[in-house]
Amino acid sequence: MRSLFTKRFLIVVFLVVAFFAGGLTFFFWQKNNLSEPASPALSENIQSPQRQVLGLSVEGREIESYIYGSGEKQLVFIGGIHGGYEWNSVILAYKFMDYLTANQEFIPEDISIAVIPALNPDGVFKIIGKEGRFDIADVPSGSKETGRLNANGVDLNRNFDCKWKPKSMWGQREVSAGTEVFSEPESAALVKFILENNPAAVVFWHSQANAVYASKCEDDILQETTDIMNAYSRASGYSAFDSFDSYDITGDAGDWLASIGIPAISVELKTHETIEWEQNLAGILALLNYIDKE
């Protein structure tokens, strides 16, 4: 009787040990498998953009570019040349970067896209108080005009080599255009990047004239400039203009590009607070379609 009891006891102990051993095995198997990415193939296919530091601002902040795709024809999109005064142009650039990361198939094989979200990081920092990426919640209320110039007090969009003068205009105000062409480190960084990469076209995002403007210097507007202006305008709904004539401008970055044979347009958002994402995405798609067929 005692022998039978002992056998039954040993069987119960064996079953209990086997149960817990099996449970622990399943637990660790499940943990290891759940720790794997849900879609490993998707994770492997998503490529991070190529980040470059083009140079440093007056106050030592990095001027960044992010390159998507690997095609020989490069399109460049630039925000924040007027710093925190036009902070929405920087937000638009970040929004576009997010779209490119999530939709890499959107880039044709023969095209690469470079995004410079903030050419004037010191001007952005003066208003936002943050370095690098920010969102609308970080933007304080009140005037943003003090964030337009760089830390040397220079309007960067008056510092380029097209009809340059040491003083230029911003509306009815006189502004410094620097001590000479490309005197500012931010301007010099962009010049170096452009000359090294020779892009097919360049888009500057500004605010708030609600239009698309062509670029030109002393010569007539390049035919390619007219074409990309009209393509962006028709798709986005912004009105197209051959020139900005609200007041006299010298040393404009887009006009310098025209002088060296690179088509460039300036897209002016409607206000200083909105990014009109759907409008601009439509314009970008139209521009890519045009360049892809060239």
Lowest mean pLDDT among 2-6, 104-108, 219-223, 233-237: 2-6
Under the banding of pLDDT at 50, 70 and 90, the label for residue 47 is confident
Cβ–Cβ < 8 Å for 262, 214: no
Cβ–Cβ < 8 Å for 95, 278: no
Comparing 6 with 145, the larger pLDDT belongs to 145
Is the pLDDT at 9 greater than 80, yes or no? no
Confidence (pLDDT) at 238: 98
In the chain, the amino acid numbered 212 is: V
Is the pLDDT at 166 greater than 50, yes or no? yes
Mean pLDDT of 216-225: 96
Confidence (pLDDT) at 45: 54
Percent of the chain scoring above 90 in pLDDT: 81
**CB proximity list for 138: less than 8 A, separation 6 or greater:** 128, 129, 130
| DSSP bridge pairs for 113 | 68, 75
Lowest mean pLDDT among 22-31, 107-116, 186-195: 22-31
Give me the chain's average pLDDT, please.
88
C-alpha to C-alpha distance for 95 and 15, rounded to whole angstroms: 59
Q: What is the pLDDT of residues 183-206, one digit of tens each?
A: 999 999 999 999 999 999 999 999
Is the pLDDT at 225 greater than 80, yes or no? yes
CA angle, 239 as apex, 234 and 243 as ends, to 5°? Answer: 115
